[in-house]
Structure 1
Amino acid sequence: MIRAGVIAMLAAGPAIAGPDCYQRFYSDAHMAANPTQGVQGLVLHFHPIEGGTRGVQLWAELTPEMESLASETLGQRYYSDMRCEAAGPDVEGADPAAETCFDLCDLGFIQIVEESDSRLLIRSFGLGLHGNSTTCSGGAVLADRGETSGYVVTTFRLDGAAEADCEG
């Protein structure tokens, strides 16, 4: 249900030729083997923005456990709109030379670790995910839970997808 909604939301966006679209939905076996992982699926879409840079729209499907920690309604889609810059901040674990995409609500960032037509690796640094587009609310985080508490810097691998695949 959520996956269909995520894909439908992506279809409402502007049509941009690949490899600007990446996605990954984790199997039940993968989720069982990684109990601290809070993300069941991701769709990430790059798009051009003013100034010759690019933006990112990211949608996430969370595990029920992660959704129960968020302040919105269960079963909701979570997203982040971001603006990318050529370099990153001087933050522990971040690469200051890596392309960095900052959440427009000032709730964390991702860094592009590796990008090709077939694969995208991103690292999330406490990226806030929102359930409400007008108030930047939602309270979810794109990261794995720590073994004891909190969240850890998390790397996600997404697969390149044809634009038609991301449109549903």
Structure 2
Amino acid sequence: MMRRLLPLLLFLPTPVMAELPPPGCYARSYDAAHLAAHPEQGVAGLRLWYFTQGDAGDTPAALVEARMAMQGQAARDGVAGRVLSQYAICDAQGACYVECDGGLFTTEVTGDGGLRLSTERFRVGEGDSCGGSSDLAERDGQTTLYQLVIAPAEACESLWRPHPLPAPGCYGVTYSDSGHGQGLLGMRLYLRAPDSGFTFPQAEGTFRVTLPDSGRARAAGMGGARIAVPIWCSARDGYCRSGIDEGALMVVPMGEDALALETSRFVLYGAEAANIDIALPGPAPTRHQLQRMPPDACRGME
């Protein structure tokens, strides 16, 4: 019997193993007709930039950008029309992972040089918790496929071009009252020189806020407090973060002597679990403009 079965086994189809695509840009935009025919799909466009990083340049990674539609998981998660991004570490078998259990996707290179992306869960965006604010999968645990084509590197320029980081040093602003300071009396940002030798340099530092003894700060049990937290700022997306769930500060350099900080959510914690979000309620980001200050203004933050 075995001599009869073995020749037949040679003709059985073998599964195609997932593999990491060559470095470069892969993209797909979905027109209105496609979205109308697939009402559960909440992604109107997808771009992926694959690259290698690390000291030896041998660690594969991917930057993902999803342009969300007005339907499907985008409408469900309240991010319709937004553009959400994510960073993932990949392995040699073509699987790319989000930190903090944000899910993964696998890829399969197609015959025309494009790729087929498959995921049951892959979080994108900056949400209230680690991993993002929406999902490339239409339903958690249900496989969703995206067919992408290879694209010119320029199509992914906003993903691979590093964001500028401010020069190292002390920056700050002092307000005459909390009304002028949008609920704050002042803030300081101390940045060290960014590391070198990485695709996207990162600068570490300290962020400090002085709160008034009134208004939201007093209501949160943090009236009159001065809170300092360590932060790291990445040239990958231009944001500074202090932890996993606290939100982020977008840093906008304004020449050598000034910068702006914008945030839609940045939570500071005080004693006994007291906390306050320094971003004001509403759809628009809260913005502060800081000027370069002498080193003494950031004493104790080095």
- Output the amino acid matched with 1:69: R
1:19·1:116 contact (CA, 8 Å) conserved in 2? no
TM-score, normalising length: structure 1: 0.68
The residue aligned with 2:137 is 143
TM-score, normalising length: structure 2: 0.40
Are the structure 2 counterparts of residues 138 and 83 from structure 1 closer, same or farther at C-alpha, using a change threshold of 3 Å? closer
The residue aligned with 1:78 is 84
2:96·2:104 contact (CA, 8 Å) conserved in 1? yes
The residue aligned with 1:14 is none
Output the CA distance in 2 between the equivalents of 1:48 and 1:69.
34
1:39·1:143 contact (CA, 8 Å) conserved in 2? no
**Structure 2: gaps spanning 5 or more residues:** 1-21, 159-302
- Output the amino acid matched with 2:102: L
1:57·1:80 contact (CA, 8 Å) conserved in 2? yes
What is the DSSP-based 3-state SS (H/G/I as helix, E as strand, rest coil) of the residue aligned with 2:74? helix
1:70·1:138 contact (CA, 8 Å) conserved in 2? no
Correspondence list, 1:1-168, <5 A: 20-50=24-54, 52-65=58-71, 66-70=73-77, 74-86=80-92, 98-114=93-109, 118-131=113-126, 136=130, 138-145=132-139, 152-167=142-157
Are the structure 2 counterparts of residues 62 and 48 from structure 1 closer, same or farther at C-alpha, using a change threshold of 3 Å? same
Q: Which has the higher contact order (CA 8 A, sep 6+)?
A: 1
Q: Percent identical across equivalent pairs? A: 28
CA positional deviation for 1:67: 2.8
1:110·1:122 contact (CA, 8 Å) conserved in 2? yes
- Output the amino acid matched with 2:136: L
Are the structure 2 counterparts of residues 39 and 151 from structure 1 closer, same or farther at C-alpha, using a change threshold of 3 Å? farther
CA positional deviation for 1:60: 0.3
1:126·1:142 contact (CA, 8 Å) conserved in 2? yes
- Output the amino acid matched with 1:99: G
* RMSD, matched Cα: 2.6
Q: How many residues align?
A: 134
CA positional deviation for 1:164: 1.8
**Structure 1: gaps spanning 5 or more residues:** 1-17, 87-97
